[in-house]
Amino acid sequence: MKIKKIGVIGCGLMGSGIAHTSARAGYTTIVRESNQELLEKGMSNLFGFIEKSIARKKATEFELRQVKSNLMGTIDLQDIADCDFIVEAIPESIELKNDLYEKLDEIAKPEAIFGSNTSSLIISEMAKATQRKDRFIGLHFFNPVPIMNLVEVVRTDETADEPYNAALDWCKRIDKTPVACVDTTGFVVNRLLVPYLLDAIRALEAGIATIQDIDNAMMLGCGYPMGPLTLLDYVGLETTHYIAEIMTADFGLPQYHSPELLKKMVEAGLLGKKSKKGFYDYSDPRAPVPADLSAFLK
The catalytic residues are 119, 140, 152, 190
**Cβ atoms of residues 221 and 194 within 8 Å:** no
**Cβ atoms of residues 163 and 1 within 8 Å:** yes
**Cβ atoms of residues 138 and 107 within 8 Å:** no
**Cβ atoms of residues 4 and 25 within 8 Å:** no
φ, ψ for residue 89, nearest 5 deg: -140, 60
Contacts 24+ apart (CB under 8 A), 9-12: 9/77, 9/80, 9/86, 9/87, 9/88, 9/89, 9/90, 9/100, 9/104, 10/88, 10/89, 10/90, 10/117, 11/38, 11/39, 11/41, 11/42, 11/43, 11/46, 11/73, 12/38, 12/42, 12/89, 12/90
- How many other CB atoms are found less than 10 A from the CB of residue 213? 14
